Amino acid sequence: MYPLILVGVDGSKYAEQALEAATEMARLHGSKLIIATVFSFPQSLGDILDTAPPMPNDVAVQLKDMLEKYQKQAFSSGVKDVEIKILSTFTPLMSVGATLVIEAEKMNVSVIVVGTRGITGIKRTLLGSVADYVVRNAHCDVFVVRRGT
């Protein structure tokens, strides 16, 4: 049903719950699982630079370590094919959600799995929501994990 599953993670408990759900889906369907995180360069850089600077090495190491930990968890849960990706966004107009949606379409993903804190009202309006953006703009199915604390 879902040959290629993309799950967005950021190290939060909400993302880890999404990873748990995506891992179970991948195991049950025999799917390939892509675990991805998005690094956003400071928006002010997009106003003064034409091209993105290299990602800071310490950030790249932290993100890679996080993804490798999640990859091991997925393998130990029985998923046979797990890939990890660090995505980045540089332009001020490109959000984390937009980056996930664009990359998912490029990879021809069949479902995107994201977690959410369940923020509503004015806080969501001010802070935005990766899950909300993905749901409204993805080319494929989206599975939103709304588990409690």
Amino acid 40: pLDDT:
81
Amino acid 96: pLDDT:
86
Question: Tokens at residue 111, please?
Answer: 């479902």
Say if residues 144 and 37 touch (Cβ distance below 8 Å): no
Phi-psi region of 86 (alpha: psi -120 to 50; beta: other; left: phi over 0): beta
Amino acid 56: pLDDT:
84
Amino acid 148: pLDDT:
56
Q: Mind listing the domains of the chain with CATH numbers? A: 4-145 (3.40.50.620)
Q: Helices (DSSP H) in 36-137: which residue ranges?
A: 43-48, 57-76, 96-107, 121-127, 130-137
What are the 10-residue block averages of pLDDT along the chain, 149 residues in total? 95 93 97 94 56 79 97 98 91 78 96 80 52 92 82
| pTM for the structure as a whole | 0.86
CA gap 115, 81 in Å, rounded: 22
Q: What angle do CA 4, 25, 111 make, to 5 degrees?
A: 40
